[in-house]
């Protein structure tokens, strides 16, 4: 009997340490377009991100209206003409970290990872692969990555008048500090 | 017995714990998304720019942005081929409009028509929004002052500087009904210090209605109509009716329109329009708006 209790106690603790979901409501994702004419950058600091540390399932979700630009007019055009926030309010990613087993969430360090999954923007879903890092520091994990997306792949077209101002491929920088546990 | 109790309790905890763990990543994401959905979502871009045709829209320029507006109204289309259907004559207004905050802007302008200076504030009192805070309309208040510097008609009598002044107070109640359709109502009060005839009222009232329908992402069709209340209008004036297009090309908005009003400031087109559409008293005109970012947005 005592043995059984011990087994359950171990099971209990094992469950809580291994099968953890880490998440945040204030992750940040930036988009960056660089051309000879101008650089355009926008930040969204209200990104939702959930990571299952056991299976490697990784999800992001953000509201497109949460991107803030340096110029008010850029923000308006982004929402009105390009990402069409009223029609497509959210952008999401649903994927898996391929090498999650190599990440030791208990010990500090930078663990290179590869993520593969469905990136949905502007109503178009594309299978995307990105490399990045999971950085563990003081017991807290941060998911970081930098990759590019082609506007044409997501049916976002740029009119001739601003062709020189907006790059065809956009650099996306992810930095989500997964400070919450469930 | 006691051991048994502990056993069952720990079994119970183990099971509940497992069921909590079984909650999958998608469920958690859905939970988080629902939490976020409560945030207030403010409606943006009800109109493409701060003017519909002649008059104001509910839109402001953003904080730190300077909107330079150059507007022309050509002569009457019924001037015939000799006047190249009005293109031989033009009156022009140049305006500079700046966003002090995201809800307050100020502007000044000079129009060649009757050598008029104008200045205004525009304050967003309410903003259309949904989510946590639900508001069906955007409400703006626009006080305008106009200074007519044309020489006095009768220079022999005693003229006062204040006789050159006109005051307009306007409320604009606007709503973006859908991505393409926006409408607004504009109750407008104008005070004139000097009137031409003793029978002319000093205080004039009008109610405007205007709207836009997008034709494509960057082009919209606009209309604007100001109805003057019969007891609060000047004799022989007509109601201002205008139709036009907005064409947006990145940093510029081009507005091309036909209107029976020649003036470009409120007291002019709302209260002093004399043109009649049915007689061909139609002025072709355009506004060009170019926004420069001067101050910091945040």
For chain B, strand residue ranges (E) read 41-42, 65-76, 90-99, 104-111, 116-126, 129-130, 138-148, 165-176, 181-192, 203-214, 219-228, 240-249, 252-259, 283-293
In chain A, what is the greatest distance between 2 CA atoms, to the nearest angstrom?
A: 78
For an interface test with A, give the residue of B18, B31, B36 to mutate (most A CBs within 10 A): B36
Position B147 scores a pLDDT of: 95
Backbone angles phi, psi at A38, to 5 degrees: -160, 160
List CB contacts (< 8 A) between A69 and chain B.
Answer: 297
d(CA B275, CA B226): 13
Higher pLDDT, B87 or B115: B115
Closest-CA residue of B relative to A22 is B25
DSSP result, B28-71: HHHHHHHHHTTS-EE---SSSSSBSSSSB-S--PPTTEEEEEEE
Q: Which residues of B231-250 are buried (b: 16+ CB within 10 A; e: fewer)?
A: eebbeebbbbbbebbbbbeb
- Residue at token pair 């997008």: B214
Query: Could you read off the pLDDT of B123-140 as tens digits, one per residue?
Result: 999 999 998 899 999 999
Closest-CA residue of A relative to B10 is A8
- How many CB atoms neighbour CB B73 within 10 A? 27
List CB contacts (< 8 A) between B6 and chain A.
Answer: 5
Which one of A17-31, B51-65, B192-206 scores highest in mean pLDDT?
A: B51-65
A159 touches chain B (CB under 8 A): yes
Of B28, B217, B251, the CB nearest to A73: B251
Q: Write out residues 278-297 of B within 8 Å (CB-CB) of A.
A: 291, 293, 297
CB-CB under 8 Å, B61 with A72: yes
What is the residue extent of each domain of chain A?
Answer: 21-181
Token output for B237? 């004036």
Say whether pLDDT at B236 is over 70. Answer: yes
Position B21 scores a pLDDT of: 47
Higher pLDDT, B267 or B81: B267
Average pLDDT over residues A137-145: 93
d(CA B178, CA B43): 10
Average pLDDT over residues B168-178: 97
Position B279 scores a pLDDT of: 93
List CB contacts (< 8 A) between A161 and chain B.
Answer: 249-250
Say whether pLDDT at B51 is over 60. Answer: yes
Token output for B101? 């905050």
The ipTM value here is: 0.75
Say whether pLDDT at B9 is over 90. Answer: no
Position B40 scores a pLDDT of: 87
Span of A28-42, A100-114, B8-22, B268-282 with lowest mean pLDDT:
B8-22
* H or E element at residue A28: strand A21-34
Distance from CA of B139 to the nearest CA of A (A): 20
Say whether pLDDT at B142 is over 60. Answer: yes
d(CA A153, CA B62): 31
Average pLDDT over residues B256-280: 94
Q: pLDDT grade, residue A159 (50/70/90)?
A: confident
B253 touches chain A (CB under 8 A): no
Span of A116-120, B74-78, B241-245 with lowest mean pLDDT:
B74-78
CB-CB under 8 Å, B17 with A76: no
Span of A146-160, B102-116, B127-141, B145-159 with lowest mean pLDDT:
B145-159
A80 touches chain B (CB under 8 A): yes
Is residue B111 within 8 A of residue B144, CB to CB? The reply is: no
Distance from CA of A42 to the nearest CA of B (A): 13
pTM here is 0.82
CB-CB under 8 Å, B63 with A21: no
CATH of A21-181, one of 2.40.128.110, 3.30.70.1520, 2.40.50.140, 1.10.260.40: 2.40.128.110
Closest-CA residue of B relative to A77 is B250
Span of A116-125, B14-23, B38-47, B138-147 with lowest mean pLDDT:
B14-23
Of A15, A86, A94, the CB nearest to B179: A86
B30 touches chain A (CB under 8 A): no
B235 touches chain A (CB under 8 A): no
Higher pLDDT, B80 or B185: B185
Position A117 scores a pLDDT of: 96
- Residue at token pair 């340096």: A70
Bridge partners (DSSP) of residue B141 are B123, B171
d(CA B201, CA B195): 7
For an interface test with B, give the residue of A10, A27, A73, A91 to mutate (most B CBs within 10 A): A73
Average pLDDT along chain A: 89
Higher pLDDT, A37 or B288: B288
């Amino acid at each position: 009997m005592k043995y059984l209790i011990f087994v359950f106690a171990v099971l209990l603790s094992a469950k809580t340490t291994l099968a953890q979901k880490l998440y945040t409501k204030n992750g940040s994702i930036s988009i960056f377009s660089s051309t000879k004419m101008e650089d355009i950058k926008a930040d969204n600091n209200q990104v939702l991100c959930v990571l299952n540390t056991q299976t490697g399932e990784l999800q992001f979700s953000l509201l497109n209206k949460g991107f803030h630009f340096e110029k008010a007019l850029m923000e308006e055009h982004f929402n009105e003409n390009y990402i069409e926030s009223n029609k497509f309010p959210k952008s999401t990613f649903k994927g898996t970290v391929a090498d999650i087993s190599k990440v030791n969430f208990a010990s500090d360090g930078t663990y290179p990872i590869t993520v593969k999954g469905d990136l949905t923007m502007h109503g178009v879903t594309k299978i995307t692969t990105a490399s990045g890092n999971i950085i563990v520091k003081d017991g807290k994990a941060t998911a970081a990555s930098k990759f590019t997306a082609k506007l044409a792949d997501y049916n976002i077209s740029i009119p001739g008048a601003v062709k020189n101002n907006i790059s065809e491929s956009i650099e996306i920088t992810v930095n989500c500090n997964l400070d919450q546990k469930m | 017995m006691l051991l048994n109790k502990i056993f069952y309790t720990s079994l119970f905890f183990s099971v509940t714990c497992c069921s909590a763990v079984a909650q999958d990543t998608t469920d958690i994401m859905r939970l988080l998304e629902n939490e976020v959905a409560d945030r207030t979502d403010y409606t943006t871009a009800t109109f493409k720019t701060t003017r519909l045709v002649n008059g104001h829209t509910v839109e402001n320029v953003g904080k730190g942005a300077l909107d330079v507006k150059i507007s022309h109204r050509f002569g009457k289309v019924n001037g015939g081929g000799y006047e190249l259907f009005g293109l031989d004559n033009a009156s022009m207004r140049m305006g500079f409009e700046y966003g002090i905050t995201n809800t307050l802007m100020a502007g000044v302008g000079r129009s060649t028509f009757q050598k008029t200076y104008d200045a205004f504030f525009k304050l967003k009192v309410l903003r259309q929004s949904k989510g946590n805070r639900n508001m069906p309309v955007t409400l703006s208040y626009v006080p305008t002052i106009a200074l007519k510097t044309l020489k006095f008609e009768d220079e022999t009598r005693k003229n006062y500087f204040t006789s050159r002044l006109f005051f307009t107070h306007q409320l604009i109640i606007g709503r973006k009904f859908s991505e393409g359709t926006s409408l607004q109502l504009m109750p407008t009060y104008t005070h004139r210090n000097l009137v031409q005839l003793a029978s002319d009222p000093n205080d004039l009232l009008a109610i405007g209605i205007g709207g836009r329908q997008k034709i494509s992402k960057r082009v919209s069709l606009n209309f604007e109509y100001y109805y003057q209340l019969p007891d609060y209008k000047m004799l022989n004036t007509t109601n201002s009716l205008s139709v036009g297009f907005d064409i947006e090309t990145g940093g510029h908005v081009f507005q091309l329109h036909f209107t029976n009003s020649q003036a470009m400031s409120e007291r002019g087109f709302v209260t002093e329009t004399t043109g009649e559409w049915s007689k061909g008293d139609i002025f072709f005109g355009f506004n060009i708006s170019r926004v420069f970012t001067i101050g910091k947005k945040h």
